[in-house]
Amino acid sequence: MAALMVRRAATVAASCAVAVGVMTAPGAGAAPTATEGVTQGCYQRDGYPPGGGRNIGGYPAKYKWDFTPYIGARYYSCGRYVKLYYGGYSTNTTHYNVRWAPPGGSWRQSELRAGADMVWTFDAAYGDYNFSVQACNRGGTFERSRCTNWSPQLYLNTR
């Protein structure tokens, strides 16, 4: 009987050591991966180009035409926000123009900073968004900006 009690005590001690190791493991407080951290009832939805475009992969998928920047988007329901991914150009690019239409609204244009792999995060309204992007080089004092063609139009449902 005493041997059984010792064995149980050893099992309990070993279990506690494993539990403490799991709770204090390196990276335990790290940000969740793409599939982790999605609370029950929450979802993510990716944008897609209804008019076509070449899928260049990524997470979320990104789309482009030849000689245009790429564009991709993901909606996060629990935070009710959108991340718009754009880029592909870094040399001689001073900014990106993003055309976007919010739910029930008309087209707008915003100027975003330049870089090869960029992300624009904003709070989402309930409905449908559309996006397109182009890379631009502002040029000299009296020169107009020179820009690429527009990327494929991307549709994103935020309902």
pLDDT at 1 over 50: no
Is the pLDDT score of 62 beyond 80?
yes
Which pLDDT band, with edges at 50, 70 and 90, does 157 fall under? very high
DSSP symbols for 39-63: -TT--EEE-B-TT--EEEETTTTEE
Which spans in the chain are helix H?
2-23
Helices and strands, counts by H and E, the chain: 1, 11
Q: 109-150: per-residue pLDDT in tens?
A: 999 999 989 999 999 999 999 999 999 998 766 667 899 999
Residue carrying structure tokens 């969740």? 32
Average pLDDT on 55-64 reads 97
Residue 2 pLDDT greater than 80, yes or no: no
The pLDDT of residue 46:
98
pTM over 0.85: no
